[in-house]
């Protein structure tokens, strides 16, 4: 990508392969050298929406299982000092 042209507002004229209003990063190497790189969205990620649950519904069967699990786990705990 080469461009030796600036427009009247000191904007760099990009080649036609770079779409208008593209997101770019500009890295300054020294006083006369810059690297301009077009940012493309990463397609390796997917967005998953998860509903926010403030309070679980009452489930007596699960509460009974939960109490049994807690009782079994607490049998092996030493007494606090």
User: Are 27 and 37 within 8 A, CB to CB?
Assistant: yes
The Cα 41–Cα 23 span in angstroms is 10
Overall pTM > 0.75 = no
User: Looking at residue 74, what DSSP letter applies?
Assistant: H
The Cα 60–Cα 66 span in angstroms is 10
The Cα 63–Cα 56 span in angstroms is 11
pLDDT in tens, 36-56: 888 887 778 888 999 998 888
pLDDT at 79: 81
pLDDT at 80: 80
pLDDT at 1: 46
Residues in the chain with pLDDT values less than 70? 1-5
């Amino acid at each position: 990508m080469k461009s030796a042209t600036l427009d009247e507002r000191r904007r760099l004229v990009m080649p036609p392969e770079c779409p208008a209003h593209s997101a770019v990063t500009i890295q300054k190497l020294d006083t006369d050298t810059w690297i301009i790189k077009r940012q493309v969205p990463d397609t390796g990620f997917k967005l998953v929406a998860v509903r926010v649950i403030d309070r679980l519904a009452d489930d007596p069967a699960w509460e009974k299982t939960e109490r049994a699990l807690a009782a079994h786990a607490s049998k092996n705990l030493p007494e606090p000092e």
